[in-house]
Amino acid sequence: MVADADLKVAMKGNINHSVVFWCFNIAGDKWSIDTTCSVAKSVGCSSVEICGPAEFDTIKKHGLTCALAANGMSGAPFMRGLNNPSYQSEVIAVTSKTIEDCAAANVPSVIAFTGYKWKNADDPNSGEISLQEGADNCVAGLKALAALAEKKGINICLEQLNTRDGSHPMKGHPGYQGDDIDYVANIVRRVGSPRVQLLFDIYHVQVMNGDVIRRIEECRDVIGHIHTAGNPGRAELDEQQEINYPPIMRKLVEIGYKGYVGHEFIPTRDPIAGLREAVEICDVWSTQTVSFAFSVDTVCLELFDSSPFQLSAGDSPWSARWAGPCQTWTSIAVSLGGSLPFPFCGPSFMARWPLNLCE
């Protein structure tokens, strides 16, 4: 199956979009890796991720990259993690092999997990690893991996997951130790390697912590990868869920984030339409602020954008949002003394600036 070329979103160039393979492989039409790559490329994504070496050649064949590799652990890889001495040596060995494979295939990053807090990851009655012990174990394990990662030029991205949603094995993970974004970010900071970074999953952060934009600012020093999904339910990024993605994406642009944004929602309807919608919603311009010095009452602007803009007239800033088509030049008039109906072209000052202002 190949998606219609007309589905491709006209990209603004600020967000690098990626598709998380497992979501579309287990639900909806249950796409193969080949189909996932074809659809991803057709809607404007440049990566298909959380795949292993067996999929790397197919991804490359489609002219895509794998932005984030699976760590190679069998079963549910988030259960047996670096926090648990019973599994740590296996996790390090398997992840080390994956780092080698990623380096050979030019795959930039591999995922990592704290693991479940129970001493036997399958048995909630087996006793718990304390938060401090779990963090210390993760730091030691990540430091062991960091030496190889630095040598090979591969990033290790440690993920926070939510423990609140027990309705589905992939919507939440009750028992996961790293369910607080500050806890996981501090583990990353303690490792002290530029190759050990934070996987900031917006869906999981919203479920457990909220205050997403402020938390992006607080974690800007360690963020290495981003995931999206709608909440509640880890479904599409549509109007049925609560996360307002455009300002979150603009925050990523503001902090200078240049990594990938992996769309990791479980489709509940047409998966191609849902994926295209996610790309379109998350593909944003940065917010622009411009100042003018002039003596007329109105200014007629021509903008190639639908993002917020602000005009400053002396000490009286005037802000507005144009919600019209973002694909065509549109004349907008702004009255600095009050509001005018749109569209309106007054007598006066014309400003038309180049597209590169919006990059």
Which entry of 159, 254, 280, 359 is annotated as an active-site residue?
Answer: 159
Q: Which single residue is written with the structure tokens 């996932």?
A: 36
Contact (CB, 8 A) for 336 and 313: yes
Contact 75, 90 (CB under 8 A): no
- Asked about 150 being catalytic, the answer comes back as no
Instruction: Tell me how crowded residue 206 is: count the other CB atoms within 10 A of its CB.
Output: 21
Quick count: other Cβ atoms within 10 Å of Cβ 76?
14
Catalytic entry in 49, 236, 264, 277: 264
Exposed / middle / buried, residue 108 (Cβ in 10 Å: 0-12, 13-18, 19+): buried
Q: State how far the Cα of 82 lies from the Cα of 344, in Å rounded to an integer.
A: 61
Instruction: Give the span between the Cα atoms of 135 and 211, in whole angstroms.
Output: 24
Q: Amino acid identity of 114? A: T
Decide: helix, strand or coil at residue 21: helix
Q: Is residue 149 within 8 Å of residue 195, measured between CB atoms?
A: yes
Residue 159 is among the residues annotated as catalytic for this protein: yes
Looking at the DSSP bridge assignments, the partners of residue 176 are 116
Return the active site residues: 159, 264
